[in-house]
């Protein structure tokens, strides 16, 4: 059921496709005003069309400090204050640790950790007292996952930063929570550069390894995000798993 978000204002950093765009759509369809940002201009143009008239999209590379500052200034000019900031940006490139280059390492940390941090630092002053932030981590932020070591480390650092923001924003009544998605069916499946066949294989692995026996949808993530953002008024500093049981130490019954 579509909820009413009339009168609310939101910025989504990394909101031009997948779970960020699904969240933006739910807000805009419910009458909320939303500004989403992404790096790829074709995705930004498509998001602009999808979100009109309540939402708009702009090009902003979270890895570039100047872009983040421009996004914050534009958000202030367009929306004045924010009820909700969703920091959903992320990149993941699969490679074993032995093959990680300095460039790969830096790309993950400059987007997933440094970029997300400065987005929160620059945009949180716009959030009204009593508003909220949700940050997207991953089920891979704990434990060891072959081929995802750098991604996992960058997201684990992000969870730590989100906890610190939760503590420091307590005096303003701003709640900061993290989501931890498992396998979610999005245009990229959360991994850069996969071929269609590799994406299908990734989805099949998700179906096999997830206790609920399937990949989640971007809309299921969006509903959980908006619950944390607007309804979970006694929840801060928490991490919500949206993973079909994948990270929850439960197993499906034996057939």
Which residues are part of the catalytic machinery? Answer: 151
Q: Measured from the CB atom, is 82 or 242 closer to ligand NAP?
A: 242
Q: Measured from the CB atom, is 197 or 255 closer to ligand NAP?
A: 197
DSSP string, the chain: -PPP-TT-EEEEET-SSHHHHHHHHHHHHTT-EEEEEES-HHHHHHHHHHHTTTEEEEE--TTSHHHHHHHHHHHHHHHSSEEEEEE---------GGG--HHHHHHHIIIIIIIHHHHHHHHGGGEEEEEEEEEE--GGGSS--TT-HHHHHHHHHHHHHHHHHHHHTGGGT-EEEEEEE-SEE-SSTT-TT--HHHHHHHHHHHHHHSTTSS-EEHHHHHHHHHIIIII-TT--S-EEEESTTTTTT--PPP-
Q: Please report, as ranges, the residues that interact with ligand NAP according to CB under 6 A.
A: 14-20, 38-40, 43, 60-63, 88-92, 111, 136, 138, 181, 183-184, 186, 188-190
Q: Measured from the CB atom, is 43 or 132 closer to ligand NAP?
A: 43
* Shortest distance, position 175 Cβ to ligand NAP, whole Å: 20
* Shortest distance, position 133 Cβ to ligand NAP, whole Å: 14
* Shortest distance, position 139 Cβ to ligand NAP, whole Å: 6
* Shortest distance, position 234 Cβ to ligand NAP, whole Å: 25
């Amino acid at each position: 059921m579509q909820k009413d978000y009339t009168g609310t204002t939101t910025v989504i950093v990394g909101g031009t496709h997948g779970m960020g765009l699904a969240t933006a759509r739910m807000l805009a369809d419910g009458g909320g005003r939303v500004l989403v940002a992404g790096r790829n201009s074709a995705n930004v143009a498509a998001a602009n069309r999808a979100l009109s008239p309540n939402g708009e999209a702009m090009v902003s590379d979270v890895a570039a400090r100047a872009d983040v500052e421009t996004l914050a200034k534009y958000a202030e000019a367009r929306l004045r204050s924010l009820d909700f900031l969703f920091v959903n940006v992320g990149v993941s490139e699969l490679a074993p640790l032995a093959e990680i280059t300095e460039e790969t390492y830096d790309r993950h940390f400059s987007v997933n950790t440094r970029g997300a941090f400065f987005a929160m630092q620059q945009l949180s002053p716009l959030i009204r007292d009593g508003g909220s932030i949700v940050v997207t981590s991953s089920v891979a932020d704990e434990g060891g996952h072959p081929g995802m070591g750098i991604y996992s480390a960058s997201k684990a650092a992000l969870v730590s930063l989100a906890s610190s923001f939760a503590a420091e924003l307590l005096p303003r009544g701003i709640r900061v929570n993290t989501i931890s998605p498992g396998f979610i069916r999005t245009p990229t499946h959360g991994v850069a550069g996969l071929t269609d066949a590799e994406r299908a294989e990734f989805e099949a692995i998700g179906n096999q390894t997830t206790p609920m026996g399937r990949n989640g949808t971007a809309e299921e993530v969006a509903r959980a995000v908006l619950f944390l953002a607007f309804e979970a008024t006694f929840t801060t500093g928490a991490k919500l798993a949206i993973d079909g049981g994948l990270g929850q130490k439960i197993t499906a019954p034996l057939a």
